[in-house]
Chains A and B, each alone.
Chain A
Amino acid sequence: MLNPGLYIHSASTIVPAAPTEPVFCLSAQEPSYEGLIPPMQLRRMSKLVRMSLGAARDCLSRAGAATADAIIMGTAFGCLADTEVFLKKMLEQEEQMLTPTAFIQSTHNTPAGQIALAIGCQGYNNTLSQQGQSFESALLATSLYLSEHPDHQVLCGAGDELTPTSLALLQRIGMYSTEPYHPGKHHVPPAALAAEGVGFFLLSKNAEAALARISGLESFHEAQADKAAARFHKILEACGGLRNTDLLLVGTLPDERSERAYADALSFGNAFRMQSGTWPTDTAACLAKLVNHWPEHKERAWLLSHWGSDWNAWLIEGC
């Protein structure tokens, strides 16, 4: 397990509310963005851009920081809604009389670029996209940047938006469930509950006034759930196994595949699940919630996540 040795100074997240009745998918519960994004700009922004900018700004204000030295974002799907708008018009209008707005906003680095513009950050700016390891790629990029600039602070986050088309297609390939999710019922649907959201962090190498420390990260690609389970087991064992003072957090609501992979870990008494549904970068939101509500008497937290054949194990220490 790699030890990034990064400190979290603030965290912010925009996620769906935990469902109280049966649902097929969950939309992010967005704030009004008042005081975070000027209304004129807000109207032009896609959901992923406004969620990212909103969480990034909130993250800075929680830390009492005006800006950051660098911005690093992870997203698996990028700006899906704008991509689809341009694609649809291009096909309908047979490549004629198109306007550039949706195309311009469709690039993966639109959120990170907009954050830079909003907070006046001319430093390092990068966007990583690696399916179920997009946030993890952004975190590793942050770790590399901070190894070169040990005194800097990085705004690092990740997120994805859900669209009607992405929902339908991901349901077709069994990533998302076509059955409704019944909160409170001990029923394991075959696939995950579709959702969307973002999580952002202010990270540095400086322990002072930090909320938590990222002490371990291991990402791997594995098509078979039982092999992934064995790998998780090995990772936990190598770090001394689960202790009473540990918390185990599983970044998804139950589904058959992850249930098999997490079975070993889930038998541990201190296991929790994030109740906001699943998306490829949900680890970021999960981690943000964790550090903002660090449970008393816990020293470490394990965070296990998966999306398709991408699996991640995080080790977080409270400060």
Chain B
Amino acid sequence: MSAPVFIVNTGIITAIGSHTEASKQSLLAGTSGIGKAQYLSSYWVESIPLAEVACPNFELADACRMPRHLPRTALLSCHAAQEAWAPFSKQPAPFPLAFFSANTVGGMDKTEAFYAGLRQNPLHGTPADFIYHECGAITRLVARRLGFDGWVSTASTACSSSANSIMQAGQAIRAGLVDVALAGGADALCQFTLNGFNTLGILDRQPCQPFDAGRRGLNLGEGAGYLLLMSERALRTYGATPLALLSGWGNANDAYHQTASSPEGTGNTLAMKAALDTASLQPEAISYINLHGTGTENNDLAEGRAMDLIFGPQAPPASSTKAFTGHTLGASGAVEAVFSVLSILGGFVPPNLRWKQQMPEHHVAPVTHLEHREIRHVLSNSFGFGGACSSLIFSAC
């Protein structure tokens, strides 16, 4: 039996709550965070619904004792990472602290604002306007603020980024190289991604309907999520009580197209199978599937077909929580990891809001109303551009 990877705490901030307990209450109450953005400045804010974190930058910065001028992704990241680390932050650290984070566009919000002026004047602005552009710069800011001085890395694989950072933390703990890790990711809304997705024609003008036959596309969201992971040794040293286990992970590439999933969901199938293999579980052991379920034509088709292949016509209860939080891109794998842990602890399946009509191409019929049941193992999917497919499995202790 391989070394267990314990989940000791969680931290999260999205449009449905600025910490774990608030997020749980929203999931239980069926309160969606999708609506008109207040803080993002863009032409499209009037016509495209978004799932924005209801908090201006200065409040986020003050809450996590970071300078107010930092990129929003760093602030969201620190807010959630700080929540996950809080119970242990005052204790002496007997192990190097590793930070496995993820994001897709680094400090792009600052870069957008700066670049407009730079075109007029090559000496426009100050270094603080552009030195956080890199994905890794965001991670380093947060690692330094929280005193994480061990292994620091940033996964950047589009929408599967934070599933990959969690996977890497799991691998590092299982290999005995790391004992304590914060793993997850963050992404803030910005004009760049909003316009990018808009040009692809996959943004829903209404609140999205993942896995519905009449789905129209996705809603973009923002946020951050982190799991505090520990080895058995660290768990004993800290005297910590685990919430759940990170038991399986799989990463595969569709190798089909830069943005589109193969219609038969080859990469998706391979990732889910690999996750079941690492967890040594049969498909029937899965009690709940947190779908990638973006609400786009292409994703929900490929994901559903892949699920038919693995689970047959009787798939376990499944839902896409993107109907609550929007698609938080590089944060989504971690946000949904936190939801998976909540599902195990609270014994519930969050509903797939707004689902009405069965897709004819596969058998996946998501759960539409909150269901209470015992949850032993949760499979969580994250797929993205570049053929990136990752799946994680979380298990009850």
- Decide yes or no whether A17 CB sits under 8 A from chain B: no
Q: Assuming A108-B157, A113-B388, A221-B152, is B258 touching A147 (CB within 8 A)?
A: no
Q: Assuming A76-B134, A126-B251, A137-B154, is B258 touching A108 (CB within 8 A)?
A: no
Instruction: State A108–B106 Cα separation when bound (angstroms).
Output: 11
* Complex interface: stretch among A99-107, A206-214, A250-258, A297-305: A99-107
Chain A minimum-CB-distance residue to B256: A117
In the complex, are the beta carbons of A88 and B136 less than 8 A apart? no
A153 contact set on B, CB distance < 8 A:
none
In the complex, are the beta carbons of B157 and A169 less than 8 A apart? no
* Highest count of chain B CB atoms <10 Å: which of A109, A120, A144: A109
- Decide yes or no whether A46 CB sits under 8 A from chain B: no
Q: CB < 8 Å: which of B119, B130, B144, B168 contacts A88?
A: B119
- Decide yes or no whether B42 CB sits under 8 A from chain A: yes
Q: CB < 8 Å: which of B42, B151, B171, B198 contacts A148?
A: B171
* Highest count of chain B CB atoms <10 Å: which of A99, A113, A140: A113
In the complex, are the beta carbons of A99 and B199 less than 8 A apart? yes
Q: Give per-residue flags for B116-146: 1 if the beta carbon is below 8 A from chain A beta carbons, else 0.
A: 1011001100010011011111011000100
A2 contact set on B, CB distance < 8 A:
177
- Decide yes or no whether A95 CB sits under 8 A from chain B: yes
- Decide yes or no whether A23 CB sits under 8 A from chain B: no
B253 contact set on A, CB distance < 8 A:
71, 113, 116, 121-125
Chain B minimum-CB-distance residue to A118: B255
* Complex interface: stretch among A127-135, A224-232, A235-243: A127-135
In the complex, are the beta carbons of B127 and A172 less than 8 A apart? yes
- Decide yes or no whether A98 CB sits under 8 A from chain B: yes
Q: Assuming A2-B177, A87-B111, A130-B154, is B131 touching A103 (CB within 8 A)?
A: no
- Decide yes or no whether B112 CB sits under 8 A from chain A: yes
Q: How far is the CB of B262 from chain A (nearest CB, A)?
A: 10
In the complex, are the beta carbons of B154 and A90 less than 8 A apart? no
Instruction: State A276–B385 Cα separation when bound (angstroms).
Output: 33
In the complex, are the beta carbons of B196 and A103 less than 8 A apart? yes
- Decide yes or no whether A32 CB sits under 8 A from chain B: no
Instruction: State A108–B266 Cα separation when bound (angstroms).
Output: 22
- Decide yes or no whether A94 CB sits under 8 A from chain B: yes
- Decide yes or no whether B95 CB sits under 8 A from chain A: no
- Decide yes or no whether A77 CB sits under 8 A from chain B: yes
Q: CB < 8 Å: which of A78, A122, A127, A147 contacts B252?
A: A122
Instruction: State A114–B256 Cα separation when bound (angstroms).
Output: 10
Instruction: State A88–B192 Cα separation when bound (angstroms).
Output: 10
In the complex, are the beta carbons of B171 and A90 less than 8 A apart? no
In the complex, are the beta carbons of B43 and A95 less than 8 A apart? yes
In the complex, are the beta carbons of A133 and B153 less than 8 A apart? yes
In the complex, are the beta carbons of B258 and A78 less than 8 A apart? no
Instruction: State A113–B260 Cα separation when bound (angstroms).
Output: 12
Instruction: State A104–B119 Cα separation when bound (angstroms).
Output: 23
A84 contact set on B, CB distance < 8 A:
115
Instruction: State A316–B80 Cα separation when bound (angstroms).
Output: 39
Count contacts on B: residues with CB < 8 A to the other chain: 64
Q: Give per-residue flags for A63-92: 1 if the beta carbon is below 8 A from chain B beta carbons, else 0.
A: 000000001000011100001101110110
Q: Give per-residue flags for B92-116: 1 if the beta carbon is below 8 A from chain A beta carbons, else 0.
A: 0000000000001000000110011
In the complex, are the beta carbons of B134 and A129 less than 8 A apart? yes
Chain A minimum-CB-distance residue to B151: A140
In the complex, are the beta carbons of A140 and B258 less than 8 A apart? no
- Decide yes or no whether A168 CB sits under 8 A from chain B: yes
B164 contact set on A, CB distance < 8 A:
126
Instruction: State A125–B161 Cα separation when bound (angstroms).
Output: 11
Q: CB < 8 Å: which of B153, B155, B192, B254 contacts A86?
A: B192
Instruction: State A94–B44 Cα separation when bound (angstroms).
Output: 11
Interface residues of B in 20-75 (CB under 8 A from A): 42-44
Interface residues of B in 216-254 (CB under 8 A from A): 251-254
Q: CB < 8 Å: which of A90, A144, A221 contacts B168?
A: A144
A104 contact set on B, CB distance < 8 A:
196, 200, 258-259, 385
A87 contact set on B, CB distance < 8 A:
111-112, 115, 192
Chain A minimum-CB-distance residue to B164: A126
- Decide yes or no whether A96 CB sits under 8 A from chain B: yes
Instruction: State A169–B112 Cα separation when bound (angstroms).
Output: 15
Chain B minimum-CB-distance residue to A124: B251
Q: How far is the CB of A203 from chain B (nearest CB, A)?
A: 16
Instruction: State A173–B137 Cα separation when bound (angstroms).
Output: 15
Chain B minimum-CB-distance residue to A95: B43
A134 contact set on B, CB distance < 8 A:
136
- Decide yes or no whether A112 CB sits under 8 A from chain B: yes
In the complex, are the beta carbons of B43 and A108 less than 8 A apart? no
- Decide yes or no whether B4 CB sits under 8 A from chain A: no
In the complex, are the beta carbons of A107 and B386 less than 8 A apart? yes
B137 contact set on A, CB distance < 8 A:
131
Instruction: State A116–B156 Cα separation when bound (angstroms).
Output: 16
- Decide yes or no whether A141 CB sits under 8 A from chain B: yes
- Decide yes or no whether B17 CB sits under 8 A from chain A: no
In the complex, are the beta carbons of A90 and B195 less than 8 A apart? yes
A106 contact set on B, CB distance < 8 A:
196
- Decide yes or no whether B270 CB sits under 8 A from chain A: yes
Q: Assuming A91-B115, A91-B116, is B255 touching A121 (CB within 8 A)?
A: yes
In the complex, are the beta carbons of B175 and A144 less than 8 A apart? yes
Instruction: State A128–B39 Cα separation when bound (angstroms).
Output: 30
A124 contact set on B, CB distance < 8 A:
251-253
Instruction: State A122–B255 Cα separation when bound (angstroms).
Output: 6
- Decide yes or no whether A110 CB sits under 8 A from chain B: yes
A272 contact set on B, CB distance < 8 A:
none
Instruction: State A214–B55 Cα separation when bound (angstroms).
Output: 47
- Decide yes or no whether B158 CB sits under 8 A from chain A: yes
In the complex, are the beta carbons of B154 and A116 less than 8 A apart? no
B155 contact set on A, CB distance < 8 A:
126-129
- Decide yes or no whether B366 CB sits under 8 A from chain A: no
- Decide yes or no whether A24 CB sits under 8 A from chain B: no
Task: List 9 interface pairs A-B (beta carbons < 8 Å), by A numbering.
Answer: A87-B111, A87-B115, A99-B199, A112-B157, A113-B386, A113-B387, A121-B255, A125-B388, A137-B154
Further contacts, 19 of them, CB under 8 A, given A88-B115, A125-B253: A2-B177, A78-B135, A94-B43, A99-B199, A109-B158, A110-B258, A113-B385, A116-B255, A125-B251, A125-B252, A128-B154, A128-B156, A130-B139, A130-B153, A133-B152, A165-B118, A168-B122, A173-B127, A221-B144
Q: Across chains A and B, which 5 residue pairs bring their CB atoms closest together, nearest first?
A: A113-B386, A103-B196, A108-B156, A125-B253, A130-B136
